[in-house]
Amino acid sequence: MACTGILRRNRATIVLCSVLILVAGCAAPPEEEAAVPEVDPVAENNAALNELVANYLQAVNRGDADGLAVLYTEDAIRMQSNSKAKVGRDAIRLFAAADYADADWDLQLHVEESEYSGELAFVRGTYALGISPKDTPSEVYQELGKWMDVMRRQEDGSWLIAREISNRNHPPGQMPEMPEEE
């Protein structure tokens, strides 16, 4: 009789263990946490910079002073050849609106160098500019020059222009020496 009690307890234990194994096997597997993709800060910054340059070119070449102004920080300073510094987004907007009122602009930018450190970046390059007065579009003023911007990263990861300086490679009124085509 003692043997029968032990066998019943062993059978009950075996049945209980089998049920637990079946329940565990039917349960949903543990969810794996989605792998967080690694972010390449250089690639991310370069993409944001390229977007800013593209938006800048579109605004200038459309004659869109409002579209240009939003690419600057509220406290931005823009310094150009033969002109006083424009301080603040509103001053930059007004100056651009006056420029675009009488002429169509064709600007090309080339980025030669950029460096990022924390929330600031600098970008340096060259430009080619053609300006056609709206009343005499066949007369085109051409200018070649260089530029440098200090950018500030915004909370959303985008970059805005905080400081900008540009100057031409030739005296005012003199036609620039155009680079030879390759």
DSSP summary character for residue 138: T
pLDDT digit string (tens) for 127-182? 999 999 999 988 888 999 999 999 999 998 889 999 999 999 987 777 767 666 55
Tell me what pLDDT residue 37 has: 63
**What confidence score (pLDDT) does residue 137 get?**
83
d(CA 78, CA 6): 93
Give me the pLDDT at residue 47, please.
Answer: 86
**Domains defined for the chain, CATH in brackets:** 42-168 (3.10.450.50)
Closest by Cα among 111, 130, 121 to 161: 121
Give pLDDT tens digits for 61-95: 999 999 999 999 999 999 998 889 999 999 999 99
The alpha carbon of 100 is separated from its chain's Cα centroid by a whole number of angstroms, namely 25
6 band by pLDDT with thresholds 50, 70 and 90: low
Gap between the Cα atoms of 114 and 150, Å rounded: 10
Strand order in the sheet with 86-87: 86-87, 72-80, 159-168, 141-153, 120-133, 103-117
pLDDT at 153: 92
Per DSSP, the residues of 94-119 read: HHHHHHHHHEEEEEEEEEEEEEEETT
pLDDT for residue 39: 64
